[in-house]
Amino acid sequence: MNVLLLAIGFRAWTGSALSAFLRLMAAIAVFSLELQLATWAHVGNLRSVRLINLTAATAGILWHAYRRARLRRTESAHPAPATVNVSHPGIVRLPPLPAVAALTLVVGILALSRPVTGADPYHLHRVDQITSLGTLAYDPAALDIKVNALAGIYELLLADLRIPGMSTALVRLHGLLALGLYLLSVAAIAPWIRVRRRWTFIAWLIVPVVFHQLVLVKNDLFGAVPGFVALAWVVTRGREMSWRETAAAAALAGFAVGIKISSAPLALVVGTFVVVDHWRNWRIAGMAFLAGAAGTVAGGLLFTLIENQVVYGGAMQPYLSLGNRYQDPGAAMVGVARFAVSLVDLGTLTPRLWPGRGGWGSTFGLPLIWALAVVGLHWRDRQALRALMAAGGCFVALAVTYPDADIAHRMAIAPALLLIGVALGCVERDARRRDVLRVALLVVIVLSALQILRSAVQYAHLA
């Protein structure tokens, strides 16, 4: 309810898809900051801040109503000259409605027929903890350290899925809400890649690892979405970005890191692109740095580090105690090779070569293999080259940092989605090979859809 009220106050449904996405992210960020402050000040909780946000929503509605009335008076007194709509006629906002409806139906049926299940138990434990305490406070008695240190804003949003007067939380619908946020991010970046053929956007709907995020409770997709938009922004817009755009992209990247610290490589790549593209203007780089820092605070990173210090005696102590890291540079190089193989082996070869490594969640599957082939084929294209450098930087950094190849796939959702989008744009600009590449994409869509349908059937049998 709190995020809904703040979204109303920010009028998140107005403007372009990018504007709506940024307003929604701002609403989530404000809610996060409210609960962080309430936790530290020991004043207020998940329920009491609802009154503050209700006031903010009412004030927002009244303010915007006043502005509309004032604008109408101004226009009636001084009529503006007629303008021509210069929006790009070929820009597609969303995948075809039947494809969206089909995925929504599958996710909805699984949500209603299966018990709410977390990919890792600590997510739902943290939701229960936040619901019980009403704040983000740590529970020093928690047996699993991940409940405190690795869960935060995503779980706070799940705890907020409660309607006044009803005792049942709406966590069951987390997949549908995540799908809506995901589609909004796709619509936000669509104008930058300029794809005319609407059906090709289905490539974003049939990524196996994304589908699994819509079924089981896990924070990877939620943390990847702001990073995806930030990465696409700096890669496709580049030097054309204004200081406001760079600040917004940096804030999104910082927010992604605050939600999930494993997104740090992504923020580093975004920052590198901003510095390289705008090195002559130190103000832009400085604003981007400040906005990125603010994003990490809103995402809860500073809160987590301080709480780690207070409860566990070290800001990084919980992460170090979890282990799961390389022992030497040689092992890290093997990890990079393992991750590279896992990107294209569809989860069949990696488990045999390195048994015991990896985890749940599947791979990026055929959509990424198709995208890598297309982007590699068009490497001379400026957008394709920048996407390869950005995604490559993220992939290598993640592979060096995290030993589990399959787990790292979930952590690398943002750069993979970027490659798929840029590949769609490359096909659009390739008049000579366009038809062949589209036929290949159609085959990929059919096969990946069947793979997702098989996974859905298996989930239903496990219910």
- The pLDDT tens digits of the residues spanning 271-329 come to 999 999 998 888 898 999 999 999 999 999 999 999 999 999 999 888 888 777 788 88
Crossing angle between the packed helical segments 220-237 and 413-429, to the nearest 10 degrees:
40
- Predicted TM-score (pTM) of the model is 0.92
In a domain, 342, yes or no: yes
Q: Are 8 and 55 in contact (CB under 8 A)?
A: no
| Across 198-218, average pLDDT | 94
Instruction: Give the position of tokens 């069951």.
Output: 172
- pLDDT recorded at residue 262: 87
- pLDDT recorded at residue 109: 95
- pLDDT recorded at residue 358: 65
Which run of H or E residues covers position 232?
helix 220-237
Q: Are 386 and 392 in contact (CB under 8 A)?
A: no
How high does pLDDT run on average in the chain? 89
Does the pLDDT at position 220 exceed 60?
A: yes
| Across 450-462, average pLDDT | 93
In a domain, 365, yes or no: yes
- pLDDT recorded at residue 165: 56
Does the pLDDT at position 83 exceed 70?
A: no
> What percent of the chain lies above the pLDDT cut of 90?
63
Range of the domain at 388: 324-457
| Across 109-128, average pLDDT | 91
Q: Are 250 and 230 in contact (CB under 8 A)?
A: yes
Residue 122: both structure tokens together = 């600590």
Q: Are 271 and 286 in contact (CB under 8 A)?
A: no
In a domain, 205, yes or no: no
Q: Are 22 and 251 in contact (CB under 8 A)?
A: no
Q: Which of 133-142, 353-362, 375-384 has the lowest mean pLDDT?
A: 353-362
In a domain, 144, yes or no: no
- pLDDT recorded at residue 91: 44
Q: Are 150 and 122 in contact (CB under 8 A)?
A: yes
In a domain, 434, yes or no: yes
- pLDDT recorded at residue 3: 92
Residue 106: both structure tokens together = 């599958």
Q: Are 153 and 123 in contact (CB under 8 A)?
A: no
Q: Which of 45-49, 107-111, 292-296 has the lowest mean pLDDT?
A: 45-49
Count of structural domains within the chain: 1
In a domain, 377, yes or no: yes
In a domain, 285, yes or no: no
Which residue from 397, 440, 48 is spatially nearest to 231, judged by alpha carbons? Answer: 397
Under the banding of pLDDT at 50, 70 and 90, the label for residue 379 is very high
How deeply is 272 buried, as exposed, middle or buried, from its count of CB atoms within 10 A (0-12, 13-18, 19+)? middle
Residue 65: both structure tokens together = 């109503």
Does the pLDDT at position 54 exceed 60?
A: yes
Three-state DSSP state, 359: coil
In a domain, 166, yes or no: no
